[in-house]
Amino acid sequence: MRARLDAHQKQKDFWTHGYVLTTKDDSLNKAHVGYLEARLLEIAADVDSVVLDNGTAPSSPARLSEPETADMETYLDNVLPLFALVGVDAFEAIEEPSLTDLTDESAIESVAQQSNARLYLSTQLTIAEGEDQSAGFLVLEGAVGRREKKVMLPGYAQLRERLVQEGTLREDGDLLVLEKSYLFDSPSAAASVLSGGNKNGRTEWRDARGRTLKDIQAQMTAVDEQDGDAPVDALEGALAEELARKAAVVA
């Protein structure tokens, strides 16, 4: 692992954390590791929320016996939830809730009032819809942004160029069109990349009632303070128990 990390440190600049999958008795052999690597890459490619950079990726999972394949799939079933608990969302599909499939007006109102209700951006040749999610800020497919670039933070400018190069953002005259829904790190990153200039996402994104994301978050914080810390403590306790349970199963 040390040699692999040293090589990545010298040759790759996109990563900040590394995670190691193992067993308590070192029961994974080379074929198992090859199978798991191929399956994880398959899952990440299907989810399509990150750009994969793996020059040694196996073309298909290693051939294992039927019992070994079942064991590795069970292993993955136990491991994948752990990634979500430590903040790795490369293997977790992005959910895009839609109101168009709902026919009951009360159900539509209920969804609209949720914390991840639809938000809108309209500024300088930029029109977009998105949702503030726990994993980041999701901008929905079909968003239109300004092609001309103004003053931008280097990180936002680099992300914008990469999205254009890989085809996620398509140039169309004076505009950029988002070809597929994309999960940005923050609402500010989403607003800035689309508009071509530095934007404060918490004040630029608004709901259907005109409330800014900042106002919505402030209202949610006020409700949480009135309710006290009990729900938060309960959630933290539940997450800790789930993590401990999953770790015991994997071990």
Kindly state the percentage of the chain with pLDDT values over 90. 30
Phi and psi dihedrals of 196, rounded to 5? 80, 15
Residues 69-90: what's their mean pLDDT? 84
Q: pLDDT by residue (tens digit) across 190-203?
A: 999 999 999 999 99
Residues 143-148: what's their mean pLDDT? 94
179-183 CB contacts, 8 Å cutoff, 24+ apart = 179/141, 180/48, 180/141, 181/94, 181/96, 181/138, 181/139, 181/140, 181/141, 182/138, 182/139, 183/49, 183/89, 183/94, 183/133, 183/135, 183/136, 183/137, 183/138, 183/139
Q: pLDDT by residue (tens digit) across 146-189?
A: 999 988 888 889 999 999 999 999 999 999 999 999 999 889 99
* Tokens linked to 188: 């500010």
Q: What is the pLDDT of residue 235?
A: 53
Q: What is the pLDDT of residue 100?
A: 45
- For the four alpha carbons of 147, 153, 154 and 159, in that order, the dihedral sign comes to negative
Q: What is the pLDDT of residue 109?
A: 43
- Over the chain, what is the mean pLDDT? 80
Confidence of residue 248 (pLDDT cuts 50, 70, 90): low
Confidence of residue 87 (pLDDT cuts 50, 70, 90): confident
Confidence of residue 241 (pLDDT cuts 50, 70, 90): low
Residues 35-40: what's their mean pLDDT? 90
Residue 84 has pLDDT above 90, yes or no: no
Domain ranges of the chain: 2-93, 105-211
The answer to whether the pTM exceeds 0.85 is: no
Confidence of residue 226 (pLDDT cuts 50, 70, 90): low
Residue 110 has pLDDT above 50, yes or no: no
Q: What is the pLDDT of residue 164?
A: 94
Confidence of residue 240 (pLDDT cuts 50, 70, 90): low
